Structure 1
Amino acid sequence: MTGFSCTPSLMPAPVVSTEAPIRNDGWFPDIDPAELRAARRIREVITPERLKLAVTGAMITVGNQLAVWQAAHMLAGIADLAAVPSRKLDDTSRLVLLYTRAIGAYAKAELVEAYRDTDLTGQGQHDAETVEPSIVELRRDAIHAIRDMLARPRLRAELI
């Protein structure tokens, strides 16, 4: 019988993340960089420092948009986001899932935007134009997650 096989010694070792969770304000959940990398397909060429910078920027952006909502829940005595009454999906609060989705989308948008070249050749300009929709889509996903948390409609209006 013929066929290809790979001996275990030739198979690459699984990547083990040593990145510590990125601590949040105590009310919103901390973000695990390894989970974010897996969920958003962020490759290892993005350094842990650069990923942390993008995630903390996303935490600030999302936190600013949810500040009034958070304050109302804190005044009601709710200890953290996971304690806000919400349906659960896969044993996790729907609100926690939406929050981490918003963080991941904003962080990935910042990373995609930051890694585009500023001095582009003709081919590079074409490549940047194909990336542009994904940045817009990532930001849209983050806005939708935040609107879902706030129980606000997703509204899109275009001027004619």
Structure 2
Amino acid sequence: MTSFNAIAAPSITPEPNPPAASLIVENIDWFPPIDLAAMREAVRLDGTVTHARLRDAVIAAIDEVNRELSTWRAAHQAANVASLAELPADKIGGESVQLARYRRAVYFLARADLTEKYRDFDSTKSGAADADELVTTIDADRRNARHAINDMRGLSRTTIELI
């Protein structure tokens, strides 16, 4: 004899809106702050990513990008460039391309980090297959961040390795 038990699915309560002050992640003086709401929209993050997790991923991404650009930044500071916004660069859409590249690097590193953390959320067979497919997304996000950082520094995007 078989039986069937119906269990109501737990209701998911949406996360309350975070305070407006916590939507901006302040940065060191030379680099711009990151607006979490703008990032959510730019890289299409939905409500499954909590505010706390997004903020944590963005802080880690800012730290990584800032460390990678530290020598490049120091050279510009020595030339009396007070901030990334003041660095001579083309303007597209009324904004320095360097600011757009910096945000792109931070956004995509943060999204790669979040995607890695969320890919093991579903333990079903189809969930495992979806997790494998997300590796491509993670790799593309990291590549996009590297391209943005290299573009900021004026370096080639190509890495050639001899085997």
TM range (shorter): 0.7 to 0.9
Structure 1: 5+ residue stretches without partners = 1-15
* Matching of residue 104 in structure 1 with residue 90 in structure 2: no
Task: Tell me whether 1:55 sits opposite 2:36 in the alignment.
Answer: no
1:156 partnered with 2:159: yes
Matched to 1:44, the amino acid is G
Structure 1 CA distance, aligned partners of 2:161 and 2:44? 31
Change (3 A) 1:37 1:121: same
- 1: CA distance, partners of 2:99 / 2:51: 23
Aligned residue type for 1:70: R
Counterpart pick for 1:33 among 18, 31, 36: 36
Identity %: 39
C-alpha distance in 2 between matches for 1:114 and 1:61 = 17
State how far apart, in whole Å, the 1-side matches of 2:156 and 2:106 are.
Answer: 20
Q: Which amino acid aligns with 1:146?
A: I
Matches within 5 A, 1:57-136: 57-117=60-120, 120-136=123-139
Q: Please state whether the residue corresponding to 1:85 is helix, strand or coil.
A: coil
Q: Which amino acid aligns with 1:51?
A: L
Shift of 1:120: 3.3
**CA deviations over 1:37-72 (Å, ceiling 9, x no partner):** 000001122111111100010001101110000011
Show the counterpart of 1:20.
23
Q: How many positions carry a matched residue from both structures?
A: 146
Question: Distance in 2 between the 1:134 and 1:94 partners?
Answer: 24
Kindly state the Cα deviation for residue 118 of structure 1 after the two structures are TM-superposed.
Answer: 6.9
| Cα RMSD for the two superposed structures | 1.9
Instruction: Tell me the TM-score normalised to structure 1 length.
Output: 0.85
CA distance in 2, matches of 1:48, 1:135: 20
Secondary structure of 1:120's aligned partner: coil
Question: How far did residue 99 of structure 1 move?
Answer: 0.3
**Cα drift, residue 119 of structure 1:** 7.7
Which amino acid counterpart does residue 62 of structure 2 have in structure 1? M
Q: Distance in 2 between matches of 1:22 and 1:104?
A: 12
The Cα shift of 1:90 comes to 0.6
CA distance in 1, matches of 2:126, 2:141: 24
Between 16-25 and 96-105, the greater mean CA deviation after superposition: 16-25
* Inter-CA distance 136–33: structure 2 relative to 1 (3 Å threshold): same
Question: TM-score, normalised to structure 2's length?
Answer: 0.83
